[in-house]
Structure 1
Amino acid sequence: MAAASVQSLTSGRQPDLALVSENDLPYEQDIQRNPGSTKPWLAYIEYKLQHGTIHEQAYIMERACIQLPRSYKLWKMYLRFRTKHIEKLNAAIFADEYRKVNALFERALILLNKMPRIWEMYLKFLMQQPLVTLTRHTFDRALRALPITQHNRIWALYKPFANSAEGLTAVKIWRRYMQVRPEDAEDFIELLVQVGLYTEAVKKYIDILNNPRFQSQNGKGHYELWSEMVDLLVEHAVEIETGHETGIDVERIIRSGIERFPDQKGKLWCGLATYWIRRGSFERARDVFEEGITTVMTVRDFTLIFDNYSEFEESIISALMEMATARAEKGEVDEAADFDLDIRIARFEHLMDRRPFLLNDVLLRQNPNNVTEWEKRVVLWGDNKEQIVQTYTDAIAAIKPKQAVGAFHQLWANYAKFYERGGDIRNARVIMEKAVKVPFKAVAELADMWIEWAELELRNENFDEAVKIMAKAVQAPKRSTVDYFDETLSPQQRVHKSWKLWSFYVDLVESVSTLEETKKVYERIFELRIATPQTVVNYANMLEERHYYEESFKIYERGLDLFSYPVAFELWNLYLTKAVDRKISIERLRDLFEQAVEDCPPKFAKVIYLMYGNLEEERGLARHAMRIYERATRAVSDEDRADMFNFYITKSASNFGLPSTRPIYERAIAALPDNEARDMCLKFADMEKRLGEIDRARAIFGHASQYCDPRTNPDFWSKWEQFEVQHGNEDTFKEMLRIKRSVQAQYNTDVSFIASQALARSRQQQQQQQQQQMEEGGGEGEVDQEVVDAMELLERQARAPAGFVASSEGIKGSVHTQAVEVVNPDAIDLDDMDE
């Protein structure tokens, strides 16, 4: 576009005829008729965009914007046209062309400075040019010109520009942006760290952490942000400015985190120590490590701090040793440096020696009531008596008896044993005297404590003193109504009902005192109603050993009054055994046995009845024993009844002969369940056979057959068959077979099911044979005939009697024969049967 044409347009002269053709006259006339309207200009521009040259198009747009300088639509069209024309040109090489367009934008913004779209176009165009300062100033002008509601559109371009600019320029821009969008502080902090402004980054972290309304755009929690700040403080400890001027107190910040985040104490203590190490304050770092390992509450935190502490000491020692080696190579001597190295080595060795104690401290801080850890601490001190005593003292002061974890009484006992091993019995007694007054968690602990005191005296051969201690321990009112399990009472109020305590007391008195004293203790146990079956047995055995047999029997009787079954069974067993061995009068023994079986449950009756019967056999009458065994068969449990009948039968046969057992067998068969009655019948039949009573044995077999299904009890029918073969005839054998069929029919209640199963098996067999025949090339009719023949053979074999042959042939064992003709299923003609 020529400068002359622009001058003519701006001076109001006629249009340049070189750029206006005859075809443009209609549009020129429309412009003249409507000078204040944009429509003729838009139509004119549209026409030129299709038929005009670039110069003509620019000329018309320039005239339109001069004619209507406030038209947003015309300016936007013109500016887009000019920017598109040079967008592919290099901004550095064609800087003049870009400046012309920049000037055009400036002209447009004179009257359209409230249009954000014009500003956006201008700013995007400037960002393509290497004009950082001009672009930044233009962004600032846009922010000043536009209302605040439109600023987000400018900042959407300004932020990428700032990030591309980098350095302090980016920081300055972001500082302004933070005033508008403080929620994007994390991105600002990231920029500050990249630039190296660590102090300002920490301040920004402090601002967002102190703002409870701040929400992380990246989904980070409060601790995560706080942890990032601490990491920044530690990593750049030297670069970050601290003090009152900046308001950054690193140690106070990290210590506040230690209080607020207890699960991260180990990491934070190590972070604080690392901060001082990087600042060069090694002594302060060592103090921090020491404070950390003596205050943390978990083994994990302790291990983390201790490992870092030991690595720190090792690194210092390594550095000093390298320096000492270098000096030695040069021949230099520095006694102060060598002494410092020796001190640090000794300090490191002391640290490693302290590790078990420090770890024990951690566990005790977790739970000062942990008795086991206190015991471990005592062991750690080895032979250091002063520290051992101090540890026991601290443990007793720290542990709450009701919350103790472990055997608290054992700690007291070990404390006393420590003095005992040193020969100081007086202090050991003082400790024991204090220990029995401790309100332990359970009565058993207090009882153990009294026993430990008595054993202390016994080890030092003070037997009388031990008895006095136990007498004091079990001291109680004449009639005590205290419940041993009443948790509302203290252990001291309930300890006199501890069986463990009385058991030790009575053993002690029995060992060192007279019989009368021992009997008093036992009687006191019975008075307090804390006697156990073991107490009864021990008391009776003691009297028996001293030949007080009648008194021992009375003790058993007292025990039987106290205890019911099943405990009473064990006492009766011992009592009756000892009474029988003592050979007291038979009448008295019978009375005892009658008492024993009177209320005896069936489960325990068998043993007592057998003892009773054996007594009668040895010292009484055999018929009395038989009556007892007969009573036993009714009194014992179902599981023992069959054994009892067998025993009864055996005894009756040995005393009165086999015929005397018949009524016993009959009653056994009637009383026992089917499976046991069957076995009893077989024994009964065998006995009758031995007596030669074949008919009676056959009748017994017939009676027992009702319990025996031929399919599930083939042994019974086999034995009956053998019996008939040996002792029967044709009629008896046929009768046996008839009974067998009758019983089988009785048990065969599901005929349709059995038939369907047989048919299914035959069909399956037929299909298999057909398949095999087809594979071999055989005929189908032959297979059918074979199946039919096989089924008929199986049916005939099922109807044929087993184990019986014609008399002319004799008995040849169990031979299966085929029935050729059956006239009546209830009568078998043996003449028609052949082998």
Structure 2
Amino acid sequence: MVAVELYPSQEDLFYEEEILRNPYSLKLWWRYVKARSDAPAKKRHVLYERAVRALPGSYKLWHAYLKEKVDGVRGLSLLHPRYEDLNNTFERALVTMHKMPRLWIMYLQTLTEQKLLTRTRRTFDRALCALAVTQHDRIWEIYLNFVSQQGVPVETSLRVYRRFLKYDPTHVEDFIEFLQMSELWQEAAERLAQVLNDETFYSRQGKTRHQLWLSLCKLLTTHTKDVSGLQADAIIRGGIRRFTNEVGRLWTSLADYYIRCGLFEKARDVFEEGVMSVVTVRDFSIVFDAYSQFEESILAAKMEQSTLDTDDRQEEEGDESTQDPHRLVSFEKWIEKSFWLNEENDVDLRLARLENLMERRPELVSSVLLRQNPHNVHEWHKRVKLFANNPSKQVLTFTEAVRTVDAMKAVGRPHTLWVAFAKLYESHADVVNARVIFEKAVMVNYKAVDDLAIVWCEWAEMELRHKNLKGALDLMQRSTAEPSVAIKRKVAELGEEPVQLKLHKSLRLWEFYVDLEEGLGTLDSTRKIYERIFDLRIITPKIVLNYAALLEDNKFFEDAFKVYERGVQVFKYPHVRPIWSMYLNKFVSRYGGKKLERARDLFEQALKEVPEADAKPLYLQYAKLEEDHGLARHALAVYERATKAVEEHEKLSIYDIYIARAAEFFGLPRTREIYEHAIESGLPDKDVKTMCIKYAELERNLGEIDRARAIYVHASQSADPRSDTEFWSKWNDFEVQHGNEDTFREMLRIKRSVTASYSQMHFILPEYLMQRETGKVSMEEAVDALAGAGISRDDGMAALEKEMASSAGKDGMKALGFVSAGVQSQTDGGAGLERDRKDANDEEIGLEDEEEEEDAGVDVAEKSVPDSVFGNLAQVKHAGESNEKGEKREFADAEPLGAKERFKRQKKTVD
């Protein structure tokens, strides 16, 4: 081995000289130690020893010295002599450094690693005695880790933990865990009980009192034989009362406690108490499943034990017969072996218990639901159905139900319990008791009057089923009797008004009463009931109609009409609608035209306040009366009134009927006024177009071709060619049949104009109009929107006319297939074309428009129209032809007139 130089070398002379001059300077010693950091350990230890001998109170030197020595023993055997030298060094350091907790911790950790139990325990105690109380928590942390190691006696650990709890009682949960790990169940249960009894306890581990309580219950039930002195039954029942969300687990824990104690009957009682007291289905499922498993396990154990006892008994009997076959068995031995007297052989009893438990499950579940809400009527009915084969239990269930359910708190209709209870007695032919039940039922203060009325009606129906007709009428008379003034005053003093005082105004009861009286009583008694209903002001339109029908069946027609009159005075629309309809039908069917003025007054009275939605059938009925028994002009006047009174979507159908009747009564020319009125009355655009098409068809049938064409022109302004193809198709067919080249070109020009107008409005319409569905924006709305935006409709039309004028010279060629009919168009289009032809080049090739190319293949019928057809229009035609300057224009080409003004102008021109 290489010898280690312990004496100062030449390099140490400088530090040695400084230390000789000032041997008590910590700075010099520390610089000397740092300068020799690469020296051998033994030499450094000598240097440290000299330093701490000179400065025994230096914490810095001692700490560095001890840390270096601790690092030096790492990896060595615990029996190495250097450990003892290290311990001695710690002891010498603590002589002066006993107030330094860090040195104590280093020393204690070193002793713990050396497994010196006694020396370590005593050192811990010395540290606790030497240090201040404020530093004890640092010592106790490693002290508890030490006593928790394997090999430390349990008694030592218990004493240490008990001392620690005196220092800091809040760590009792750690102590309880240690006790459970050490299987010291008795003290663990006691400590848990103390914690739960301390209302000021705060868990450092974040456990709730509920969790601690469950831990105690689990400990008591799991280690029943190891824990004594605690009343497990009282503790668990206290948890059941306090923690309602864990009732099922606690009941099973209590039963488990008695099972482990061997008290099986007591456990069965606990299970029964549990299933009869839980209030939730979840808790019931937990307790019931544990109960059934308990019964099954006991039954299996008994059956196995019975099998073993039988085998043993057979072996014993075989041995006895072999030894002495003639020996008599003593009486005591026979009693012991007797099967039917042996209490251990109760397999049949336990099997019956298990079957009974399974059969009772629906009943027990019903009890749980009723404990949740004893006023649940539906659950009571379901419970009665469980005992369908046991009338006695059904009666008991109904009795309990009507006694328990409060009508003001009931969920459901509580009167159904009374009715079902009475029907149960009735089904068993006990009508007397059924009447008793009904008598009690009508005295209950229900939440609604209708419930009490149903009970009275059911009672009366029961009497009817048993042929007691007089009794049923007496019941209805008794139920509808109005309470006396004295009773009302007495109830008003009490402040609570029961439903019995409102029963006499129950509509259900009166309807049943009047039906019963109508079938069993006389006409006079029935009329009295109806009049009583009128007096109580609870009449309904249905009752009015029934009353009137009763009087009509008995030939009291005027009285029936008086009932109708009273009905229409009581009710308003829409409830009075069926009364008026029946009244008017009955009156007209009976008197016809005999009392026409009275019928008219009735209709006028009915139409006075009728809303638009209900007006159409009354007006049609009124007009039918005038057609059958009055004057035709009166009927048409009614139709005209109907066109203004009905809803918008029904006006077109009224106009159709109006026109058909006018044509039937006065001929087709009379319908022109109706058509014009319909077009000017403000119908929706789609209905206006339909009406114009019909009007034009009428004029065409009458030979008024120009009038029909004027109608088409008028309607074209509200017909978008992109969507309304039907209108333009009909106009096209009309021009093909009755027009010429000029009129057809005029139709195409108008079509282009309308298309441009709709296209322009489409692109510049406001956003709120653009968001509407196609066809929902009318022409007037679009024009108003354009005017509000500063854009005039005239500008667009003027541009279009300018474009048409520029292209007029190119349309000189006559459309193929058209032959002039000799009728001048009402527009100046024809004159303009003639002037253009005169100035046109004869050699110029004419190009047709797109519309003409599309219609080039149309086969047009050619027919000359004589002047006699036109009548006075012929003069207008010749006058228009003679005017060379074209100053007289029959129609405005570019001015966008309003619908009404345009139609009036065209009509005036034609006339």
TM-score bucket (shorter structure)? 0.7 to 0.9
| Alpha-carbon distance in 1 for matches of 2:841, 2:620 | 53
Distance 1:692 1:75, change over 3 A: closer
Pairing partner for 1:99 from 84, 89, 92: 84
Partner amino acid, structure 1, of 2:283:
D
| Alpha-carbon distance in 1 for matches of 2:390, 2:752 | 96
How big is each residue's C-alpha offset from its partner over 1:505-563, in whole Å with a ceiling of 9 and x where there is no partner? 00000111111111110010001010101101111112222222222222111111111
Pairing partner for 2:254 from 256, 272, 293: 272
Aligned partner of residue 126 in structure 2, secondary structure: helix
Q: Equivalent residue for 1:456?
A: 462
How big is each residue's C-alpha offset from its partner over 1:171-199, in whole Å with a ceiling of 9 and x where there is no partner? 33222222223333222222211111112
1:709 touches 1:747 (CA, 8 Å); kept in 2?
yes
Deviation at 1:736, TM superposition (A): 4.0
How big is each residue's C-alpha offset from its partner over 1:10-49, in whole Å with a ceiling of 9 and x where there is no partner? xxxxxxx984668767766666665665566556655665
| Residue 276 of structure 2 corresponds to residue 294 of structure 1 | yes
| Alpha-carbon distance in 1 for matches of 2:511, 2:810 | 77
Q: Equivalent residue for 1:225?
A: 212
Q: Equivalent residue for 2:171?
A: 184
| Residue 119 of structure 2 corresponds to residue 134 of structure 1 | yes
Distance 1:827 1:396, change over 3 A: farther
Q: Equivalent residue for 1:234?
A: 221
Q: Equivalent residue for 1:664?
A: 674
Q: Equivalent residue for 2:702?
A: 691
Deviation at 1:752, TM superposition (A): 8.5
How big is each residue's C-alpha offset from its partner over 1:723-751, in whole Å with a ceiling of 9 and x where there is no partner? 23322334444444454455556555459
| Residue 263 of structure 2 corresponds to residue 313 of structure 1 | no
Q: Equivalent residue for 1:440?
A: 446
| Residue 664 of structure 2 corresponds to residue 654 of structure 1 | yes
Any gaps of 5 or more consecutive residues in structure 1?
1-16, 755-791, 811-820
2:741 touches 2:819 (CA, 8 Å); kept in 1?
no
| Alpha-carbon distance in 1 for matches of 2:457, 2:812 | 83
| Alpha-carbon distance in 2 for matches of 1:438, 1:603 | 46
1:112 touches 1:118 (CA, 8 Å); kept in 2?
yes
1:167 touches 1:195 (CA, 8 Å); kept in 2?
no
How big is each residue's C-alpha offset from its partner over 1:345-377, in whole Å with a ceiling of 9 and x where there is no partner? 222222222222222221221111112222223
Q: Equivalent residue for 1:784?
A: none
Deviation at 1:804, TM superposition (A): 4.4
Q: Equivalent residue for 1:418?
A: 424
Deviation at 1:252, TM superposition (A): 1.5
Pairing partner for 1:156 from 131, 137, 141: 141
Deviation at 1:450, TM superposition (A): 0.8
Pairing partner for 2:649 from 629, 639, 652: 639
Aligned partner of residue 127 in structure 1, secondary structure: helix
Q: Equivalent residue for 1:496?
A: 504
Pairing partner for 2:371 from 344, 361, 365: 365
Distance 1:161 1:689, change over 3 A: same
Pairing partner for 2:717 from 697, 703, 706: 706
Deviation at 1:701, TM superposition (A): 2.6
Aligned partner of residue 202 in structure 2, secondary structure: coil
Q: Equivalent residue for 1:519?
A: 527
| Paired residues for 1:217-616 under 5 Å | 217-240=204-227, 242-243=228-229, 248-332=230-314, 333=337, 335=339, 336-337=342-343, 339-476=345-482, 489-584=497-592, 585-587=594-596, 588-616=598-626
Q: Equivalent residue for 1:113?
A: 98
1:79 touches 1:104 (CA, 8 Å); kept in 2?
yes
Say which is worse superposed, 409-418 or 532-541, in terms of deviation.
409-418
| Paired residues for 1:730-741 under 5 Å | 730-740=741-751
| Alpha-carbon distance in 1 for matches of 2:61, 2:703 | 141
Q: Equivalent residue for 2:877?
A: none
Deviation at 1:221, TM superposition (A): 2.0
| Paired residues for 1:70-81 under 5 Å | 70-81=57-68
Deviation at 1:635, TM superposition (A): 2.7
Q: Equivalent residue for 1:174?
A: 161
1:822 touches 1:828 (CA, 8 Å); kept in 2?
no
Partner amino acid, structure 1, of 2:125:
D
Distance 1:703 1:480, change over 3 A: farther
| Alpha-carbon distance in 2 for matches of 1:595, 1:827 | 71
Aligned partner of residue 360 in structure 2, secondary structure: helix
1:738 touches 1:826 (CA, 8 Å); kept in 2?
no
1:734 touches 1:828 (CA, 8 Å); kept in 2?
no
Pairing partner for 2:640 from 630, 636, 640: 630
| Alpha-carbon distance in 1 for matches of 2:246, 2:166 | 34
1:266 touches 1:301 (CA, 8 Å); kept in 2?
yes
Aligned partner of residue 368 in structure 1, secondary structure: coil
Deviation at 1:419, TM superposition (A): 2.1
Distance 1:826 1:281, change over 3 A: farther
Larger relative contact order (Cα-Cα within 8 Å, sequence gap ≥ 6)? 2
| Alpha-carbon distance in 1 for matches of 2:695, 2:18 | 142
1:586 touches 1:619 (CA, 8 Å); kept in 2?
no
Per the normalisation by structure 2, the TM-score is 0.77
| Alpha-carbon distance in 1 for matches of 2:365, 2:6 | 100
- Count matched residues: 760
1:806 touches 1:830 (CA, 8 Å); kept in 2?
no
Any gaps of 5 or more consecutive residues in structure 2?
315-336, 766-802, 822-831, 849-855, 857-911
Deviation at 1:809, TM superposition (A): 12
Q: Equivalent residue for 1:210?
A: 197
| Alpha-carbon distance in 1 for matches of 2:70, 2:483 | 113
RMSD (Å) for aligned C-alpha atoms: 3.6
| Alpha-carbon distance in 1 for matches of 2:763, 2:389 | 92
2:449 touches 2:502 (CA, 8 Å); kept in 1?
yes
| Alpha-carbon distance in 2 for matches of 1:231, 1:82 | 51
| Alpha-carbon distance in 2 for matches of 1:227, 1:544 | 81
| Alpha-carbon distance in 1 for matches of 2:216, 2:836 | 106
Distance 1:825 1:424, change over 3 A: farther
Partner amino acid, structure 2, of 1:359:
V
| Alpha-carbon distance in 2 for matches of 1:578, 1:124 | 115
Deviation at 1:699, TM superposition (A): 2.9
Distance 1:692 1:185, change over 3 A: same
| Alpha-carbon distance in 2 for matches of 1:134, 1:291 | 58
Say which is worse superposed, 418-427 or 636-645, in terms of deviation.
418-427
| Alpha-carbon distance in 1 for matches of 2:813, 2:283 | 89
| Alpha-carbon distance in 2 for matches of 1:828, 1:714 | 37
1:371 touches 1:404 (CA, 8 Å); kept in 2?
yes
Distance 1:395 1:799, change over 3 A: farther
| Alpha-carbon distance in 2 for matches of 1:280, 1:122 | 54
Say which is worse superposed, 255-264 or 500-509, in terms of deviation.
255-264
Aligned partner of residue 77 in structure 2, secondary structure: coil
Partner amino acid, structure 1, of 2:121:
R
| Alpha-carbon distance in 2 for matches of 1:210, 1:801 | 117
Partner amino acid, structure 1, of 2:158:
V
Deviation at 1:667, TM superposition (A): 1.4
Deviation at 1:237, TM superposition (A): 1.9
Say which is worse superposed, 502-511 or 364-373, in terms of deviation.
364-373
